[in-house]
Amino acid sequence: MPDPAPSTAHTEDDPVVLGSVGGSPSVPQNAGFRFAAVGALLIVVLFAGYGLGRLNNGTAAGTSAVTTRAATPTPSSSVIDESQPHVHGTTNPVPAAGAGVAVGGLSLSSQGLTLTPVETTFQAGRRQRLEFTIHGPGGAPVTTYAVVHDKPLHLIVIRRDLTGFQHLHPEMSADGTWSIDLTLSEPGSYRMIADFTALVGGAEIATTLGSDLTVAGDYVPVALPDAARATTTESYRISYEGTPGTASTQPLLMTVTDTAGKPVAVEPYLGAFGHLVVLRQNDLAYVHVHPENQLVDGKVKFWLAAPSPGTYRMFFDFQVAGKVSTATWTVVVS
Ligand SMILES: [Cu+2]
C-alpha cells in the first residue's frame, strides 16, 4: 500500500503563520556565514544537535543546540539556508568511529522545550484535527520559529511498524497552537515527530520531539519489507547506491526513473532536491537528511551516518513534474 503522498497535506502556497511575526522570510539571511564553515566539506550539518551552535561558533566544541543569535530588535523568524547537505535529528554531526550518532524524536521534551499534544487518541480512518503546542523554558508556548526548508515545522507521522508514513506541515495560530487535519487509517500505536527550530529569547533551539498517538482497534502489524536497493511508486522506479554505516558519514545517491527505466528530472521540493527521513525499527529514532544542492549525474546525493547497527526504513520525498512522491526502502546497517 503506497504511503499517503505528502502533497495531499499541504501545498507550497500554504501561508506560513508565525504568530506575531508575520511573513516568514523577513529577517536578513545570516545563513551565509553560518554555512561558510562547512562550505565545500559537504559535511552533514546537524540541526537538532549542536549543529547550529557548532556553525555559529565556528568551532567543534559544544554540546548544546541552544545558540545565541545576532541581536534582533524584536522576536522574529529567520530563514535558514539549508543549501548544504545536513542531518536533522541527531546530536553528533560527524560520528567518531564506532561511536554512532545520537538520535532525535524519542522524547516529549528536550533542551527546555516540551511537545504538548492536545489529543492523542484517534479513530481509525477518520479525519481529525491534530493540535499541539511547543512549550518553552518558561512554560509559555513558543510562537516564533525559524523557517527551515520553507517551513517553520516539519511533522512526521508513522505507525510503530513503520507503515503509514506521512510528512506534514501544520500551521500555527497566533497563540502558538499548531494544527493540521490528520487521518490515521489503521489501528495501532503511532508516533508524531516534530522537527523545528524554535526562537526563544534570542536563541535558536533546533530539536526533534515526539509523542505517541493511539488508534484503538485490532492492530495487525505489518512485517517490514526486505532490504532492497530498488523500489517503485505508482509512476517511478527509485534506486539508491551507497552503504550507510555507523563509523562514518557515507554518500547515498538516489536515481529516479520512470517505470520503463528512463531517467526523469527531479525538481526542487521544499528548498532541496529531496528530503530523506530515516527511522530506526523498534524505537523510531529519527534522522532527517538533506541532499547536496546540486544533482550528481542526475542523482540526488545525500550523506548519512546511522546512529547504530540495525534495521531502518528510509523515506525519500522527491518531486517530479510538480508532484511529490515518496520512495521507501528497508536498510540493514551492520
Ligand atoms: Cu517537511
pLDDT tens digits along 15-30: 333 433 333 333 333 3
Mean pLDDT of the chain: 78
Tell how far the Cα of 167 is from the centroid of ligand 1, in angstroms. Answer: 6
Tell how far the Cα of 116 is from the centroid of ligand 1, in angstroms. Answer: 19
Burial class (CB in 10 A: 0-12, 13-18, 19+), 63: exposed
Whole-angstrom Cα distance, residue 6 to residue 119? Answer: 22
Residues in the chain: 334
Structure confidence at residue 73 as a pLDDT band (50, 70, 90): very low
Cell 541527531 locates to 90
Tell how far the Cα of 81 is from the centroid of ligand 1, in angstroms. Answer: 15
Tell how far the Cα of 153 is from the centroid of ligand 1, in angstroms. Answer: 7
Tell how far the Cα of 196 is from the centroid of ligand 1, in angstroms. Answer: 9
Phi/psi-derived region of residue 79, left when phi > 0, alpha when psi is between -120 and 50, beta in every other case = beta
Cβ atoms of 240 and 257 within 8 Å: the answer is: no
In degrees, to the nearest 5, what angle opens at C-alpha 55 toward C-alphas 54 and 56? Answer: 95
Tell how far the Cα of 242 is from the centroid of ligand 1, in angstroms. Answer: 24
| 58 or 10: which leads in pLDDT | 10
Q: Is the pTM of this model over 0.85?
A: no
Return the closest-CA partner of residue 88 out of 319, 285, 309, 331: 285
Tell how far the Cα of 279 is from the centroid of ligand 1, in angstroms. Answer: 15
- pLDDT of 235 > 80? The answer is yes
Structure confidence at residue 321 as a pLDDT band (50, 70, 90): very high
pLDDT of residue 99: 41
Tell how far the Cα of 229 is from the centroid of ligand 1, in angstroms. Answer: 24
Tell how far the Cα of 147 is from the centroid of ligand 1, in angstroms. Answer: 11
Helix (H) or strand (E) holding 254: strand 250-258
The b-or-e profile of 297-312 (16+ CB within 10 A means b, else e) is: eebbbbbbbbbeebeb
- pLDDT of 264 > 60? The answer is yes
Highest averaged pLDDT of the listed ranges 85-89, 140-144, 200-204, 293-297:
140-144
Pairing of strands 203-215, 109-110: unpaired
Tell how far the Cα of 53 is from the centroid of ligand 1, in angstroms. Answer: 22
Tell how far the Cα of 97 is from the centroid of ligand 1, in angstroms. Answer: 30
Tell how far the Cα of 218 is from the centroid of ligand 1, in angstroms. Answer: 30
Which residues lie below 8 Å from residue 139, measured CB to CB, with a gap of 6+?
none
pLDDT of residue 10: 36
Structure confidence at residue 50 as a pLDDT band (50, 70, 90): very low
- pLDDT of 212 > 80? The answer is yes
Tell how far the Cα of 148 is from the centroid of ligand 1, in angstroms. Answer: 9
Tell how far the Cα of 170 is from the centroid of ligand 1, in angstroms. Answer: 9
Tell how far the Cα of 88 is from the centroid of ligand 1, in angstroms. Answer: 11
All structural domains of the chain, each given as residue ranges with its CATH number in brackets, are 230-333 (2.60.40.1930)
